[in-house]
Structure 1
Amino acid sequence: MKFAALARSAALVTAVALIPATTAGMAQVDGRAGPEFAKLFATYQQIKANYVEDVDDEKLIRGAIDGMLASLDPHSAYLDGSDLERLTTMIDGNYSGLGLSVIMEDGAVKIISPFRGSPAEKAGIKAGDYITHLDGDLIYGGDLDEAVSRMRGPEGTSIRLTVFRAGRDEPFDVTVTRGVIELEPVTHKLESGNIGVITVNEFSRDVGADVFSAWQGLRKEATGRMNGLVLDLRSNPGGSLDEAVALSDLFLDKGRIVSQRGRARGETLLYDAESVFRGEIARDIPLIVLIDAGSASASEIVAGALQDHRRAVIMGERSFGKGSVQTLLPLTRDTALKLTTARYFTPAGKSVQEGGITPDIKVPQLSDPDLEKRAKFQLRESDLRGHLVNELELEDEALETDKADDPRFKLTAAELEAQGVEDFQLHYALQTLRRTSPNAVASRK
């Protein structure tokens, strides 16, 4: 892969900066590390001399690098050609496959989320599912790249997934027909009552400009004055810090959006309103931002900024809690490190690491029939092995409050389906805007 492709794929990494790994930087190794390097080399020699089978040098070196990075945090990683190619295809937004975001967790392929409108979502695959077999072949304990490669393929071809879902007694099979995955970062729709819904699926390039265009489109579609706006950031895993700043700037005309603080001098940065867009859109329009456990990173920057400035009511469920910044550090023309180099903070100085963004109004997704069962196994940053600890030392009790039952929300998924409600969180947000006076829900005067 060419270096230009590497730079292009950087746009999907949160707060990416391209910093060359110079020999001067390498020379600044602490002299006390000498004995530790000696241990590493001695281990290498013993494996080469005595392991039961001959081991390739590349396998040993890659294992040592992966081990070093895994000891830091869940988001630092070594990227080679295949990993970088995956980033590139995602930012290009066009590939054939199932439309899944997955990770390897304890040897199992775990689904972070299916992309909206993807073949996987239409087939009923859900966040938190585990894939154990592909076309009957066990993939547990295997390689993530190999599993991803097998799930991709020509449009129109099918693959059988064996899925384990929390709350079910046995795994079950789902056959999914591959399609062309055209990632659409921003979509919009005008709901009754001249209330707009703008959905941001990821923070790839030009998301700020795309949301601005979506707002203009909604105003043209409306039959009169716009009466409210829902910004849907649910299941949005994040992406570019610059685009998170741009999107926040659309709704703010002054003040801090986010601050980034790192150990190196160049990693401490401040981002303010008016740095991308002049003025603000939807100035007198009530705004609700929807988040859930899948809203991470750049999504949390936007929600935190609009919440701290009291520009929006945050509704839904506590977000993922990823408050760290990754920088892409090229090593060679086709390899790089994705390294955690800083933490970010909301305008009020709050770190979302571990705790996430707490909604102003907690609204469970009652239209999900597996809500109660899946909530027990819901994955957030604080559940990841080796995650960074919040500097404020959050108490566990503070992270458990969002599991308490709310007496207002007792309808079952079947009852909601009978009423024609397919997405309860969005339905509740729209109803809130319809029954509230325009000046009562987070509108900027």
Structure 2
Amino acid sequence: MKNNNVIPAFKKAGYAFSLLLFTFTLVLNNAFASSVKNLKSQQIDEILFNIHAYYVDDLDLQNSHYVQYNNKQFERLYSKLDPYSKYLNEHELDALFDNTNGQYTGLGIEVKKVDTDIKIVNVVNNSPAKEAGILAGDIIVSVNQKTVNLLSVSEVATLIKENKFTTINLTVKRNESPEVLSFNVARTQIQLESVNSKVLESGIGYLAINSFSNHTLHEVALQIAAMQNNYDYPLLGLVIDLRDNPGGTLKSAIAVSDLFLESGTIVTTKGRYFDANQAFYAKRGDILKGVPIVVLINENSASAAEILAGALKDNNRAKVVGSQSFGKGSVQSLIPLGDGNTALKLTTAKYFTPSGESIDGVGIKPDVTINQTTLPQNNKAVIIKNEQVKNNQHQLVNSLADLQLVKAKQLLSMQ
């Protein structure tokens, strides 16, 4: 029997989605974008229909084909949606597809607003920014000679993304030097590394998952196989580092969780329409055959990362160490609009851990709480590098002050 509640299939760039659920925590401002203000009445009608049919909460829209919304009324309604629901224009939609495929076109920098400064907090490996010599900690002064200190992060991103030139000139301040440095950086397509690993001392594996893309399951399986082959013996334990992992796709989080579970519930989702209510279960087969696991999380571990941490914790498969996670417990569906070049990313469900808890706004509570300064993604490579030169545990603590990793290794050594 045909189910009329299923969200329409989405086909673009070789992808086919019938119920595509996203759990990205990429910060998307829910303020009225210019693209929303300029929508035509037919597009507004489509968006209203989908909100009425699929949005996780009943907003009492008084929506029918006989009610006409003007733009101001529509904008007021749009403002009631949660921060993860957003109309995506063609460029934003392409960027989202790139992210789910583990790639994006850009310079390879992550930035945040610190007081009035636009600060680079991470430089992606194998990116044009990395090759040009830009460093984490640099403060962006200007983009193509336009001063940015009065701009928001999204405005700076737009300035870089929508520039007609493929090469961008960045001037930055470094450390306390009064002089500025100038870099010409070309926008290119960057392949993101979602997983890296290393065998630590005593046969403990270290697996850093930086995001959940369409390739993460494959990368995790390859990295674990490589660690076991390089060690020549079965691993004695595994640390899964999910710190600063912003999430990714629900499908990827479920698949990676299933790798480590013999049975049990992975996650359940609940919403207003029929197909938003689902339960996902582990299939037989644990890739580590019961080897003990410790998961590291922090306040920036979100969404798909929280699904994995919650699944392993609630099924008593892993201990969780660190600080309480972000608390992004909602699921987004990608709904095509018009000719398929635009879409509505809409929150259609809340997800619940195997114990039945919603972590939305709360987060995953670690078994062992150790609060420490956020460990940036690029520092995870330092962990691996230090292990390669065979630093002992005390040297690792002194150089990285990574008490969470030290505690994880202590717990694994006791099992």
What code does the residue aligned with 2:366 have? Answer: P
Query: Post-superposition shift, 1:6?
Result: 8.2
Query: Post-superposition shift, 1:237?
Result: 1.1
| Partner of residue 410, structure 2 | 432
For the pair 1:5 / 2:13, whether they are aligned, the reply is: yes
For the pair 1:214 / 2:216, whether they are aligned, the reply is: no
Query: Post-superposition shift, 1:296?
Result: 0.8
Q: 1:80 to 1:307 in 2, by over 3 A?
A: same
Percent sequence identity is: 32
For the pair 1:281 / 2:281, whether they are aligned, the reply is: no
Give the whole-Å Cα distance in 1 for the aligned partners of 2:269 and 2:332.
11
Q: 1:31 to 1:248 in 2, by over 3 A?
A: closer
Quote the RMSD (CA, aligned, Å).
Answer: 4.4
| Partner of residue 354, structure 2 | 347
Query: Post-superposition shift, 1:329?
Result: 0.7
Q: 1:366 to 1:149 in 2, by over 3 A?
A: closer
For the pair 1:302 / 2:308, whether they are aligned, the reply is: yes
Query: Post-superposition shift, 1:161?
Result: 4.4
SS of structure 2 residue aligned to 1:193: helix
Q: 1:83 to 1:34 in 2, by over 3 A?
A: same
Quick check: 32-41 or 210-219, which moved more? Answer: 32-41
In the TM superposition, what are the counterparts of 1:19-38 in structure 2 within 5 Å?
32-33=62-63
Query: Post-superposition shift, 1:284?
Result: 3.3
For the pair 1:328 / 2:306, whether they are aligned, the reply is: no
Give the whole-Å Cα distance in 1 for the aligned partners of 2:109 and 2:263.
38
What code does the residue aligned with 2:263 have? Answer: K
Give the whole-Å Cα distance in 2 for the aligned partners of 1:216 and 1:174.
43
Q: 1:32 to 1:426 in 2, by over 3 A?
A: closer
Report if aligned partners of 2:106, 2:161 keep a CA contact under 8 Å in 1: no
What code does the residue aligned with 1:72 have? Answer: L
Report if aligned partners of 2:20, 2:333 keep a CA contact under 8 Å in 1: no
SS of structure 1 residue aligned to 2:313: helix
For the pair 1:125 / 2:133, whether they are aligned, the reply is: no
Q: Which of 40, 46, 51 is matched with 2:70 structurally?
A: 40
What code does the residue aligned with 1:147 have? Answer: L
Query: Post-superposition shift, 1:13?
Result: 2.8
Query: Post-superposition shift, 1:209?
Result: 2.9
Query: Post-superposition shift, 1:215?
Result: 1.3
Query: Post-superposition shift, 1:429?
Result: 4.4
SS of structure 1 residue aligned to 2:12: helix
SS of structure 2 residue aligned to 1:330: strand
SS of structure 2 residue aligned to 1:244: helix
| Partner of residue 337, structure 1 | 344
In the TM superposition, what are the counterparts of 1:415-430 in structure 2 within 5 Å?
421-422=399-400, 424-425=402-403, 427-429=405-407
| Partner of residue 323, structure 2 | 317
The two structures have a TM-score, normalised by structure 2, of 0.70
Query: Post-superposition shift, 1:153?
Result: 7.2
Give the whole-Å Cα distance in 2 for the aligned partners of 1:186 and 1:427.
17
Give the whole-Å Cα distance in 1 for the aligned partners of 2:225 and 2:215.
15
What code does the residue aligned with 1:215 have? Answer: I
Q: Which of 153, 159, 167 is matched with 1:147 structurally?
A: 159
Q: Which of 146, 154, 172 is matched with 1:137 structurally?
A: 146
Residues 75-120 of structure 1, C-alpha deviations (whole Å, 9 max, x = no match): 1001011101212333444455332456899999787865467566
Report if aligned partners of 1:98, 1:176 keep a CA contact under 8 Å in 2: no
Report if aligned partners of 1:291, 1:315 keep a CA contact under 8 Å in 2: yes
Report if aligned partners of 1:195, 1:430 keep a CA contact under 8 Å in 2: no
SS of structure 2 residue aligned to 1:351: coil
For the pair 1:159 / 2:135, whether they are aligned, the reply is: no
| Long gaps (5+) in structure 2 | 1-9, 25-45, 54-58, 377-393
Report if aligned partners of 1:79, 1:335 keep a CA contact under 8 Å in 2: yes
SS of structure 2 residue aligned to 1:78: strand
What code does the residue aligned with 2:310 have? Answer: G
| Partner of residue 391, structure 2 | none
Report if aligned partners of 1:93, 1:182 keep a CA contact under 8 Å in 2: yes
SS of structure 2 residue aligned to 1:239: coil
SS of structure 2 residue aligned to 1:226: coil
Give the whole-Å Cα distance in 2 for the aligned partners of 1:188 and 1:431.
15
Query: Post-superposition shift, 1:334?
Result: 0.6
What code does the residue aligned with 2:199 have? Answer: L
SS of structure 1 residue aligned to 2:170: strand
Give the whole-Å Cα distance in 2 for the aligned partners of 1:185 and 1:146.
25
Q: 1:368 to 1:344 in 2, by over 3 A?
A: closer
Query: Post-superposition shift, 1:30?
Result: 7.7
Residues 380-431 of structure 1, C-alpha deviations (whole Å, 9 max, x = no match): xxxxxxxxxxxxxxxxxxxxxxxxxxxxxxxxxxxx9896523615641464
What code does the residue aligned with 1:40 have? Answer: N
What code does the residue aligned with 2:70 have? Answer: L
Query: Post-superposition shift, 1:214?
Result: 1.5
Query: Post-superposition shift, 1:208?
Result: 2.0
Give the whole-Å Cα distance in 2 for the aligned partners of 1:342 and 1:256.
17
| Partner of residue 250, structure 1 | 259
Q: 1:144 to 1:160 in 2, by over 3 A?
A: closer
Give the whole-Å Cα distance in 2 for the aligned partners of 1:189 and 1:294.
23
Give the whole-Å Cα distance in 2 for the aligned partners of 1:355 and 1:264.
25
Give the whole-Å Cα distance in 1 for the aligned partners of 2:239 and 2:184.
32
| Long gaps (5+) in structure 1 | 16-20, 45-63, 370-415, 440-445
Q: 1:118 to 1:111 in 2, by over 3 A?
A: same
Give the whole-Å Cα distance in 2 for the aligned partners of 1:12 and 1:257.
15
Report how many residues are paired.
Answer: 354
Report if aligned partners of 2:272, 2:348 keep a CA contact under 8 Å in 1: yes
Q: 1:350 to 1:112 in 2, by over 3 A?
A: farther
